[in-house]
Structure formats: structure tokens, C-alpha cells
Amino acid sequence: MDGAAPPEQVRRPARRQARRIWLAVHLWTGLGLGGLFALLGLTGSVLVFYLDIDAAFNPAIRAAHAVAAPVSADAVHHRLRQAFPGRDGPWRIEMPLSPDSPVTARYYRPAERAGRSFAPLMVTLDPETLAVTSSRFWGDTAMTWIYDLHYSLLLDRAGVTLVGIAGLLAMVSLATGLYLWWPSRARFAAALRPVPRAGAVRRNYDLHVIGGVYGLIVLAVVTLAGSALALPETARSLVSAFSAPSPPPRLPAVPPLEESPPLSLDAAVALAGQRFPGAEVRWIETSGAGGTPVSVRLHQAFEPGRRFPRTQVWFHPATGAVLAIRDPAGNGGGDTVFDWLHPLHNGEAFGTAGRVLACIAGFLPLLLFVTGVIRWRQKVRAREKSRTARPALERRVRPEHPGCARP
């Protein structure tokens, strides 16, 4: 025998050292960024239902009567040009999501918000009379302010990048927490029991674990999808390693319209419907004075996101010629990933139940932050108490005359 230590004895110190490292990463990520994670979670919970909340606080924008008949895109555009004659750029018209929802339109480049990356003029119209029921700039309302806080921390493009990075660090916190919690096979079932034990220390620890372990899958999906939405180029590079997403369509240059009459929006909707029978029209983008292509965005039944579907047809604004088509039915893996990002982030992919689950998940970072801080303080106090008690214990056991041996 050469006296070498058994492999298990060699592995134990390495495991203890790894645990100390991951504990430090988990602790300082949670303490340093837990407040930010909680802020993003709470604002995200509100935004899951932000259209409903906005309508509740602004009843004037709701339709006076439920309207089942399709709204004419040409009539909406004509009304917008009447109400806002100086805004001759493209409008983006959103068809009502339900019979009692308004028609919504966005003018993306208002002169009043020049220099900001995203601050459109938002207009709602009654779907029956097409009367303008609201005209507001993005960021001036409570819900859009919360949206900017969630998406960019009110810091515009730089803030979007910071939010994306914060999401990745939140994933580090979740992963290290899972590693530190992972019990032995014999204790696994007991560790998963969702019942906090008695005692302040154990109860707080159990709440921290329950929030992290039971919310792990939903939190991970929502967080990763949010980071990918905030860091699209990084996400595209990572996804391309497995399946490259299709590049955006190359639309030919269209000269400004002069004598040619513009393409009717209702005709564009009809042409798009012929390409995709049975699909629901969601958005129409008008051409404007610059002559940009007209586009119609539709929702096919298999698509996970109804409000922002990916089916789209682009038309020449004068001739009506089809310039490009995007059909998710022919997606590869990379395109499918990007089609699911937004519906997964807000839970829309799984209907009302998914949205409720995403809303609840937004409260979990606050729970994890508060219980994590409490646990950290409990451990600090325990160490301080131990250091205070050690000298007293040593004095009790120390001989009265250190130089004399005990009999």
C-alpha cells in the first residue's frame, strides 16, 4: 500500500471549495442585483395585462358597442389623415383584438419625439364610428412609462442592453441556487415538499427554496426570452450555431409616389387573405409620403402569438405587386425560436392561463430577494453570536494557572 488517500477523500475538499465559490456567486449576485431583478419582475407582471389595465383606467378608449363586422383599413387611414393632417408618414394600424376593443394606430416618427429610439404617437378609434377616442405619446401614460422602465430602465438603447445583461445574471443566480439546493437522492422527495417548517430560520429558508425551485422553469423561460428580446443580435448569433434564422426580407427601393394612385389598404388586406386563407388580419402598415412598402401582418392558427404574429406580406404601394412574404409554416428551428420569444415572455403562447402564470412568476424575484436578504442577515447574526460566545467558552475551560498541569 502506498498510503494514498481514497478518491472520495480527495473529492470532498474539491466539492467543498466549489460549493463555497458558487455560494459566493449566488449570494453577491442576489444581494447586488436582487432589487433590480425584483423591479423587472414586478413591472413585467403589470405588463402582462397592460392593455386591459390601460383600458380600465381610461374607459373612453373602450368601444361604445361591440362590433363584430371587420373594420375597413382604408376608412381608418382616411380618418387618421383627417384628424392628423400634418402626419404624412407611415401609420401602423392594429385591428381590434375583440369586438369591444378599439382600433389602435401608431405613428412611429412624430417630430415631437425626435431623437428617441421609440416614442410613437398612439391613437385609438372607436371601431363603429371611427371617432378618435385618445391621442397620446408613448411614455406619457402610466402603462407605457412602466413598459419603458421594464424594457430599458428609462435609459433608452443603453438601458435595453443593461436589462438583457441583467436577465443573463438572473439566470446565473437561478442556476447557482439550484446547485446549492440540490439534495441527495434519499432526501429529494422531502426537499420538494411545499410546506414551510416551523421556526423563523427554517420557514424563511423553505420559502426561499419553494419560490426558486417551484418557479424555476417559468422564471427561466420568461427570463431567457426577455434577455433574447433585449439582446437580439447576441441571441441570433447563439441560435445560428444550431439553426440560422432567416434574414429579414430584402425589400426593393420604392420611389416616392407621384401620379400613381396608392394601393388601397383594403385591397392589400384582400390580397394577403388570398395568400393565407383563414388567417386573421392583425396589423396594416401604410406607405406614407415616402412611398415605403405597404405590409399586412396576419395571424395563422398555429402561431403562438396573436397580437404580434409573424406572418407578413409586403406590397408595392402603387402597383400592389407582392415584394416579399414571410410564412412561419416554412420555418426552420432558428425562426421558430424567435417566433416564440415574445409569446413566451408574456405567457400569451398558453392563453389566459399562461398569462396568469407569467404574471405570478413576476412576483417571485421579490420573494427570493426578500427571503435571501433575511437569510443572509440571519447567518451574519449567527456568526456574530458565535464569535461573541467563543471567548467566554474559552475562559470557562481555560485552567486558572496555565503553567500547572491538571492532576
What does the pLDDT read at residue 194? 81
Packing angle of the helix pair 50-57, 7-48 (nearest 10 deg): 30
**Confidence band for 1, pLDDT divided at 50, 70 and 90:** very low
User: What are 279-323's pLDDT values in tens digits?
Assistant: 999 999 999 888 889 999 999 999 999 999 999 999 999 889 999
Residues 229 and 106 in one domain: no
Q: Are 334 and 318 in contact (CB under 8 A)?
A: no
The mean per-residue pLDDT over the stretch 122-138 comes to 95
Res 253: pLDDT: 74
Q: Do both 250 and 323 map to the same domain? A: yes
Shared domain check, 370 and 327:
no
Whether residue 64 is predicted with pLDDT greater than 90 in this model: the reply is no
Q: 74-124: per-residue pLDDT in tens?
A: 999 999 999 999 999 999 999 999 888 999 999 999 999 998 889 999 999
pLDDT at 10: 53
Note whether 239 and 283 are same-domain residues: no
Examine the domain organization and report whether 286 and 260 are in the same domain: yes
Looking at the fold, whether 239 and 371 belong to one and the same domain comes out as yes
Q: Which residue has the higher pLDDT, 104 or 191?
A: 104
- Which residues span the domain enclosing 171? 8-48+148-244+362-384
Going by pLDDT thresholds of 50, 70 and 90, the confidence category of residue 150 is: very high
- When pLDDT is cut at 50, 70 and 90, the band that residue 401 belongs to is very low
* 202 within a domain of the structure (yes/no): yes
φ/ψ of 39, rounded to 5, equals -60, -45
- What's the domain count of the chain? 2
Q: Which position has the grid cell 423563523?
A: 200
CA distance 228 to 334: 13
Q: Is residue 234 part of a domain?
A: yes
Asked if residue 102 and residue 39 are part of one domain, the reply reads no
Per-residue pLDDT tens digits for 221-280: 999 999 999 999 999 999 999 999 999 888 877 766 565 668 899 999 999 999 999 999
| Residues contacting 305, CB < 8 A, separation 6+ | 299, 339, 340, 342, 343, 348, 349
| Residue 155: inside a domain | yes
**Cβ atoms 246, 332 nearer than 8 A:** yes
User: Which residue's C-alpha cell is 407578413?
Assistant: 312
Q: Are residues 258 and 115 in the same domain?
A: yes
State whether 260 and 304 are in the same domain. Answer: yes
- Say yes or no: 160 and 235 in one domain: yes
Q: What CA–CA distance (Å, rounded) separates 5 from 8?
A: 8
Residue 357 lies in a domain: no
Closest CA to 41 of 303, 301, 223, 213: 223
Best CA proximity match to 345, nearest among 109, 147, 54, 78: 147
Domain membership flag for residue 56: no
2: pLDDT strictly greater than 90: no
All three cell numbers of 106:
401608431
Q: What is the pLDDT of residue 210?
A: 92
Could you tell me if 233 and 257 lie in one domain? no
Q: What is the pLDDT of residue 366?
A: 98
The amino acid present at 315, given as its one-letter code, is: F
Residue 2 lies in a domain: no
Query: To the nearest whole percent, how much of the chain has pLDDT over 90?
Result: 74
- Asked if residue 328 has pLDDT above 80, the reply is yes
Tell me if 343 is assigned to some domain: no
Question: What DSSP letter does each residue of 318-349 carry, written as one string?
Answer: TT--EEEEE-GGG--HHHHHHHHHHHHHSSGG
Same domain, 153 and 42: yes
Residue 404 inside a domain? The answer is no
